[in-house]
Amino acid sequence: MATNDAFKIASLEGKVTLITGASSGIGAATSILFAKLGAQLALNGRNVENLTKVAKQCIELGAAQPLLVPGDLSDEDTVKRTVEQTLSHFGRLDVLINSAGILAMGSIESTSLEQYDTVMNVNVRSVFLMTHLCVPHLIKTKGSIVNVSSVNGQRSFPGVLAYCMSKSAIDQFTRCTALELAAKQVRVNSVCPGVIITEVHRRAGLDEEQYAKFLERCKETHALGRPGEVDEVAQAIAFLASDAASFITGVNLPVDGGRHAMCPR
């Protein structure tokens, strides 16, 4: 086998890739990795300042100037504008990475309907609409989709009810759309991270002491004895998006240090 065939993941050269949630965390790390691998990028995120910084890092790695389409994807017009500007700028779409998402704490007793709606609108509804609008263009290129889910979609945890429900929905959405689009040669997969060091937990309300204890507990809750890094998830996303995964679709891939396989004793 030729070296280029053996290492197809080493390049996403020229692939037009739309990444949501690109202004921080996993989305930002994925954007930077895809830039290294030669992708042409359209980046969406809510924080314009951070999104600009990510774009600058991509350019420093030798990538072309990314198209920036900032905005909150819970707004339908923002989703539509993101897709329209991407297609207008590049003329096609090869890869969609649905990374935008939020975490909210709350149980069945404490979660308000407003909080539930907010989580589901960002984590599920926007992914549905973004994918719906992108699919006709991905069919033309026989492209791929990677959704960012969570171990919370595969395992049950108290105190994050709406979030767990939203990620279970993303896993099912991934499998259903994979089957629907397989005949058209569009692959759909998701990554299911465990605890990854980002700002998402602080944004959900943990203070520094609580967050430190949360990360320390990962020594017990993750088989590998630590939380993960954003780059480790980005590598898995790049694999699933690339031709190295050409015979993989409908997979919800744990990237969680073994947490999904653990059972307390």
What local confidence, expressed as pLDDT, does residue 263 receive?
Answer: 84
| Domain containing residue 122: CATH number | 3.40.50.720
Convert the pLDDT of each residue in 198-236 to its tens digit. 777 777 777 888 878 878 888 899 999 998 999 999 999
Using the predicted structure, report yes or no on whether residue 9 has a pLDDT greater than 60: no
Of residues 29, 163, 168, 173, which has the active-site annotation?
Answer: 163
Q: How would residue 10 be classed by pLDDT, with cut points 50, 70 and 90?
A: low
Query: Can you give the residue range of the structural domain that contains 132?
Result: 9-202+229-254
- By three-state DSSP, how is residue 105 classified? coil
Rounded mean pLDDT of 53-67? 95
Concerning whether 211 is annotated as a catalytic residue, the answer is no
Number of folded domains that form the chain: 1
Token match 């997979």: residue?
Answer: 251
Is pTM beyond 0.85? Reply is yes
Decide if 2 is inside a domain. no
Decide if 51 is inside a domain. yes
Using the predicted structure, report yes or no on whether residue 1 has a pLDDT greater than 50: no
Q: Bridge-partner residues for 148, per DSSP?
A: 191
C-alpha 206/C-alpha 204 separation (Å) is 6
| Among 76, 92, 75, 71, CA closest to 18 | 92
Q: What is the mean pLDDT of the chain?
A: 93
Query: Which H or E run includes 99?
Result: none
